Amino acid sequence: MIVLHISVCDEQLFLWGESPPRDRKADTSPNLPYASSAKMLISAATEGGLRLSEKSGVHLHVWLPTWDGTPLPSSPLIADPPAVEAEPVLAPWGITAIALSTEEAFHFLATCYGKKMLAPGVILGSDVRYFARLLRFTSTLITREQFLPGVLERDGELNAVWEPVFLGDDVDKLTALAGAMPQSCRALTNQVETAPGEASVEIITKITKAFLDYLVRLSWIERRQANSRSRKSSKTTFASVHDQWLYALRSWNPAMSGDRETLEYLAGQIKAWRRSVSVSASAPFRLSFRLEEPENDDAKEQWYVRYLLNAADDPSLFIEVADAWNPGKQTKSIFAKRQANIQEYLLTSLGHVSSLHLVLEESLKKTRPGGATLDTEGAYTFLTETAWLLQQAGYKVQLPAWWSSTGTRKKLSVRASVASPTMKSKGNFSLDDIIEFDWRVALGDDKLSLADLETLAKMKIPLVKIRGQWVQIDAKGLQEAIDFWKKKSGDQVITARDVVHMALGLSETPESLPLNDMAATGWVGDLLRSLENEAEVEDVPVPDQFVGTLRPYQSRGYAWLAFLQRWGLGACLADDMGLGKTPQTLVFIQHSRETNDERPVLVVCPTSVIGNWQKEAAHFTPNLSVLVHHGPRRVRDPESFQEETLKQAIVITGFPLLYRDFEALSQVNWAAVILDEAQNIKNSTTKQAKAAQALKADFRVALTGTPVENNVGELWSIMEFLNPGFLDSQAKFKRRFFVPIQVDRDVEAIKLLKQITGPFILRRLKTDKTIIDDLPEKQETNVFTTLTKEQGSLYRAVVKDISQSLESAEDIQRKGLILATLMKLKQICNHPAQFLHDDSAIPDRSGKLTRLTEMLEEVYEVGDRVLIFTQFTEMGRILQQHLQETFGREALFLHGGVPKKQRDRMVERFQQDKDAPLFFLLSLKAAGTGLNLTRANHVFHYDRWWNPAVENQATDRAFRIGQTKHVQVYKFVSAGTIEEQINEMIEQKQEVADNIVGTGEQWITELSTRDLKKILRLQKGAVQS
């Protein structure tokens, strides 16, 4: 476990870290007891693609809050915080740090952006995440070209540099970033006498300059495809000092050599050239422009751009520039308070503005300009071009409210009407049916005729006032509307599928003519209303041969699946974990089998839940034949596979076989392909995702509790599987949605994407009002998992050993041998590391642990709290380590060795602290009585006590008086092992189950050798292939 940090010391970024403590010898400046070594830092950084193999650490001091000689760790995963109430002191602690070049910092932080963990066990400190945000801010400055070249003296040399220009909103963003800086970003010094004191705004300004200079140079050098990054370039000669400066700006060597006086003269010239920018950046006011519309409706009337000064420290304070030239007493007081040289600022800024707009330039010919008069065309140019230029230059612009994206601005748009028969008037409808379609062009709410459009075109005025409101008439858009009218006017015939695409926002109209409204009647109208609202979908009777009772929300989900299948549209069922996606899917398969199609359905799921699907199908749809395509003996030959599968109703396979056995799987034209845990194909470039998309099926379903985990690009991959081509190509999706949403947080793009994908994604949460009343107070589910190959080998070896020993063992020796074997088999089913007691690696060795991790990822996403029970303290520690390394958050663990005071503190934190760990591990015995843990609404029994009374008592730590949420209980069972054999006995409530309640596992020792070997034997399908 390591927490990585990046901090500044003497304008240099350093990488350092914290790891669980080791004993250290104190010196003048004590070493931080949990400081990471250089070797650990290099290893962790490698996880992020940063190679530091040749780096050696330097000794620095980090200043941390300290109580009685104990420093505060950044995370409880590193060490427990000091349990004292006294005020801390800021004290220096010795650490090993690695200096990062700007290039190294850039590559590392680019990898870290948006992450909390770099890899299992490698946590990113808040300072690393902060500097990653700062790098992103720097990138936006470059994208918007907010930088200028300059000359800067460093170590006696004059260097050509690229520097950011902070104007307008960028100043506010920089100030906000400075206020949000974690203290650890500036906690390093190279001495112990004085604590770091540099202001955060100074630090981020310097770091931003360094990043920007590096990135701009990189851009130039990549353009020139330069290979050398040598600082020296002695053979290069220049015709002038200006040529040398330009060369130095575009190479890795920024230093300029030559006559000092000549170089300083150049620096002076550049400084004078940049004077206007410096004045604007440091001024206490911002020049502002307000566009005021004419008082009457005549388009020939004049518009007016009023010049204003807006106080930087008071956004509500505006002063007219006309008054600033000769200020009155009150205005003078305002200027004096802010020590503003208004005359210089106005002359500088207005001189800059004159280059952006011709009419504004004309107004400056007046002695004391206060604004500019525009005609309607000039106003339109100001609205569409100049305003943006002024904002990019750092000025504030106020436009009429109707012009904003959320205002009442009227635009040309298309309205459409669809006529189709009613559902009752015709039997079978299809999305490929041809239907009547009528187009109309509208301006706001007003429909326009072709004559209206041609009249507007003849006016050749970009802004017209209609019914008291100004309307933009774009010449290009107007011509497109005329062309569109001539092409599309009157009744048209298109397919219903085209109508669905357009209704959801995938219009075929020109970009300047958005489809604004669609009125549909008949069956097409019913279809569109059902797509927009799941509640509009008609109920579908539950098949007689389905064994089970659906809750109302599950019936709605089943009907929704059947509805989308009816129209050949893929469905993503994204219900919260525990709401029963599996039974909703199985009842749909039963319905489809009985009413439409007898071809097999393919279910693809994580290997860890193949057994679960098999059990659930046997329970809910016992009359449907099931083939598990898994294991070394599976049919691989395509023709034999096709022959075998056509005899089945359901075929279950794992994601790893999608690509490996694609030749066989692609031979079948499936009635449906269902992906469980569909986030497994979120990366569309993987062979697994491509194989899923290439499967032949009339209907596709994705089951997932997390349709989007990290970014909206994952949604494209799932939708491409469900409805190929619906979101267009990946490149177009990236331009239209990914960049606007992930980078710009564009609200309109988010709204449109939700509009397009919403009809195909059904997500209900346990907290939804329509769901919560349907749920039982406590819901119990068995989770069947498979063994890994390693677990299977260990299991067989133990069973073989006891089989040989049982023949000669008698009485007490026999009982002891059986109980010891049961203990070993439980440990093997849990994790090989528990059985081997060797502190070996944890990930990817246990089917149970893999499935637990998958389920907890879903719970973690929604922030629910969890209790995890195990009989074994050793397994509890393995789980605690794994969960902390996987999720980067503390996991509590209460076992018999925890003192009462610490135990009480754990319970109090879990119950009362809103920032407490989400995962609480408990040994079954320690959790027996006296605990109230009602903040948890998920309970996991990782291993089984085989005593229902004891297990129920543990579950009741969460399910008791004071619990306000519905409790989901998951009992893990290793399929095909003794765990499943005994679980079946308990659930069937046979006579032996009553014995279990009374005597624990002793009853097993009374079984005959033959019966014992039978329940111990590893069953077919128990081990992953």
262 belongs to a structural domain: no
Global model pTM greater than 0.95? no
In 564-720, at which residue ranges do the beta strands (DSSP E only) sit?
Answer: 571-573, 601-605, 626-629, 650-654, 672-676, 700-703
The mean pLDDT value for 144-173 works out to 87
Residues in the chain: 1025
Q: Do 292 and 381 reside in the same domain of the chain?
A: yes
Q: Which of 497, 532, 567 is the last residue of a domain?
A: 532
Among the listed residues 359, 376, 374, 373, the one whose alpha carbon sits nearest the alpha carbon of residue 299? 376
CATH number of the domain within which 743 lies: 3.40.50.10810
Least Cα distance to 213 among 173, 268, 174, 250 occurs for: 250
| Domain match, 802 and 765 both | no
Flag the least confident range among 42-56, 73-87, 346-360, 739-753. 346-360
Bridge partners for 761 per DSSP: 572
Q: 51 lies in a domain? A: yes
329 shares its domain with 205? no
Question: CA-to-CA distance for 967 and 992, rounded, in angstroms?
Answer: 29
Instruction: Give me 5's structure tokens.
Output: 């940090």
Domain assignment present for residue 200? The answer is yes
Please count the helices (runs of H) and the strands (runs of E) in the chain: 39, 36
Q: 920 and 803, same structural domain? A: yes
* Amino acid sitting at position 386: T
Pick the residue with more confidence: 87 or 676? 676
- State the Cα–Cα distance between residues 57 and 40, nearest whole angstrom: 11
The residue whose two tokens read 């589910």 is 781
Final residue before a domain boundary, out of 354, 372, 399: 399
Domain membership flag for residue 237: no
Q: Pull the structure tokens for residue 74.
A: 């950044």
Judged against a pLDDT cut of 50, whether residue 627 lies above it is answered with yes
Count of C-beta atoms within a 10 Å radius of residue 906: 20
Q: How far is the C-alpha of 561 from the C-alpha of 699, rounded, in Å? A: 10
For 213, the domain range is 2-224
Q: Bigger pLDDT: 846 or 729?
A: 846
Band of residue 113 on the pLDDT scale cut at 50, 70, 90: confident
Asked if pLDDT for residue 612 goes beyond 70, the answer is: yes
Residue 926 shares a structural domain with residue 795? yes
What is the secondary structure of 720-735 as a DSSP string? HHHSTTTT--HHHHII
DSSP 680-734: GG-STTSHHHHHHHHS-BS-EEEE-S-S-SS-THHHHHHHHHHSTTTT--HHHHI
| 944-958 average pLDDT score | 73
Asked if residues 696 and 688 have their Cβ atoms less than 8 Å apart, the reply is: no
Residues 718 and 625 in one domain: yes
Question: How many percent of the chain have pLDDT more than 70?
Answer: 88
Residue 998 has pLDDT above 50, yes or no: no
- Give me 512's structure tokens: 């300047």
Q: Give residue 342's pLDDT band: very low, low, confident or very high (50, 70, 90).
A: confident
> What amino acid is encoded at 162 in this protein?
W
Torsion of CA 919, 923, 925, 926, to 10 degrees: -60
Q: 3-class SS at 213?
A: helix
Q: What is the pLDDT of residue 576?
A: 86
Tokens of 373: 């008069």
Percentage of the chain exceeding pLDDT 90: 36
pLDDT at 27 exceeding the cut of 70: no
Residues 876 and 1001 in one domain: yes
Tell me the average pLDDT across 854-865. 90
DSSP state, residue 35: B
Q: Tell me, what's the pLDDT at 962?
A: 56
What are the start-end ranges of the H helices in 197-341?
200-224, 241-249, 260-273, 275-282, 321-324, 329-337
Report the pLDDT value the prediction gives residue 919, as an integer from 0 to 100.
Answer: 96
Amino acid at 941: H
Q: Is residue 214 classed as helix, strand or coil in its secondary structure?
A: helix
- Dihedral (Cα; 791, 796, 799, 800), 10-degree rounding: -150
The enclosing domain of 899 has a CATH number of: 3.40.50.300
Residue 739's contacts (CB-CB under 8 Å, 6 or more residues apart) are: none
Furthest-apart CA atoms within the chain: distance in Å: 115
Domain match, 541 and 613 both: yes
What's the mean pLDDT in 729-747? 81
Q: What contacts 899, CB < 8 A, 6 or more positions away?
A: none
Q: Would you call 808 helix, strand, or coil by DSSP?
A: coil
pLDDT number for residue 226: 43
Q: Are residues 551 and 676 in the same domain?
A: yes
Residues 525 and 544 in one domain: no
Predicted confidence band at 232 (pLDDT cuts at 50, 70, 90)? very low
**pLDDT: which is higher, 408 or 528:** 528
Mean pLDDT, residues 58-72 taken together: 92
**618: in domain:** yes
pLDDT at 233: 47
Residues 541 and 500 in one domain: no
| The token pair that represents 346 in the structure block | 């106005």
- The residue behind tokens 């549909």 is 520
Confidence of residue 484 (pLDDT cuts 50, 70, 90): confident
Domain boundary among 772, 794, 826: 772
HSE (CB half, 13 Å, CA atoms) of 471? 20
The whole-chain average pLDDT of the chain stands at 84
pLDDT of residue 928: 57
Is the pLDDT score of 47 beyond 50?
Answer: yes
Mean pLDDT of 470-476: 74
Indicate the pairing of strand 58-67 with strand 70-71.
antiparallel
Q: What are the pLDDT digits (tens) for 429-453?
A: 777 777 777 777 777 777 777 787 7
Distance CA 792, CA 950 (A): 28
Q: What is the pLDDT of residue 19?
A: 93
Same domain? For 60 and 186 the reply is: yes
Q: Are 158 and 257 in contact (CB under 8 A)?
A: no
Number of domains in the chain: 5
Residue 492 pLDDT: 62
> Is residue 2 within 8 Å of 44, Cβ to Cβ?
yes
Q: Helices 747-757 and 713-722, interaxial angle, to 10°?
A: 20
Above 70 in pLDDT, residue 995?
no
Contacts of 624 (CB under 8 A, 6+ apart): 589, 590, 593, 617, 649, 650
Measured CA to CA, the distance from residue 795 to residue 967 in angstroms comes to: 33
Give the three-state DSSP class for 626: strand
List strand residue ranges (DSSP E) for 294-379, in order: 303-311, 318-320, 371-374
Long-range pairs for 532-539: beta carbons < 8 A, 24 or more residues apart: 532/758, 532/759, 534/560, 534/762, 537/563, 538/563
Q: For tokens 């002891």, what's the residue?
A: 816
> Computed over its alpha carbons, how large is the radius of gyration of the chain?
35
- Determine the Cα–Cα distance for residues 1022 and 1025; give it in Å rounded to an integer: 10
Which residues touch 494 (CB under 8 Å, ≥6 apart)? 434, 435, 437
Q: For position 26, what pLDDT does the model report?
A: 42
pLDDT score recorded for residue 393: 72
274 vs 467, higher pLDDT? 274
Domain assignment present for residue 268? The answer is: no
Residue 490: which region, alpha, beta or left (left: phi > 0; alpha: psi -120 to 50)? left
Residue 254 belongs to a domain = no
Q: Evaluate whether residue 1025 is within a structural domain.
A: no
Written as six digits, the tokens of 365 are 């010919």
Q: H helices within 76-199, ranges in order?
A: 102-112, 126-143, 169-179
